[in-house]
């Protein structure tokens, strides 16, 4: 496991219980909308430090996915909704 998000063959620290490398995660998150993509994105948003999330997805991708993620975010849902709403209100990202 690693905190270095450029180490594509290693498992990211926030997937301590998943057998997914950083490279594999990039591939899955760049793919089309699938249940596995939403599951892993939700888990990443719940478990990873917010600064590490941006190595995998853009704020616009998070904004689009939030309605579909629902309870997968647990206690972190409010944080992500607050962050995206604030960025939208300040014109840093477009409206969903």
The residue extents of the domains of the chain are: 13-89
Instruction: Give the per-residue pLDDT at 44.
Output: 97
Tens-digit pLDDT string for the chain (96 aa): 999 999 999 999 999 999 999 999 999 999 888 899 999 999 999 999 999 999 999 999 999 999 999 889 999 999 999 999 999 999 988 755
Contacts of 47 (CB under 8 A, 6+ apart): 14, 15
């Amino acid at each position: 496991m690693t905190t270095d998000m450029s180490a594509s063959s290693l498992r990211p620290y926030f997937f301590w219980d998943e057998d997914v490398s950083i490279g594999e995660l990039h591939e899955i998150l760049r793919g089309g909308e699938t249940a596995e993509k939403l599951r892993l994105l939700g888990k990443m948003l719940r478990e990873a430090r917010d600064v590490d999330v941006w190595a995998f997805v853009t704020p616009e991708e998070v904004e689009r996915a939030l309605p579909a993620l629902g309870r997968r975010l647990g206690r972190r849902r409010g944080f992500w909704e607050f962050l995206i709403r604030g960025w939208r209100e300040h014109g840093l990202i477009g409206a969903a």
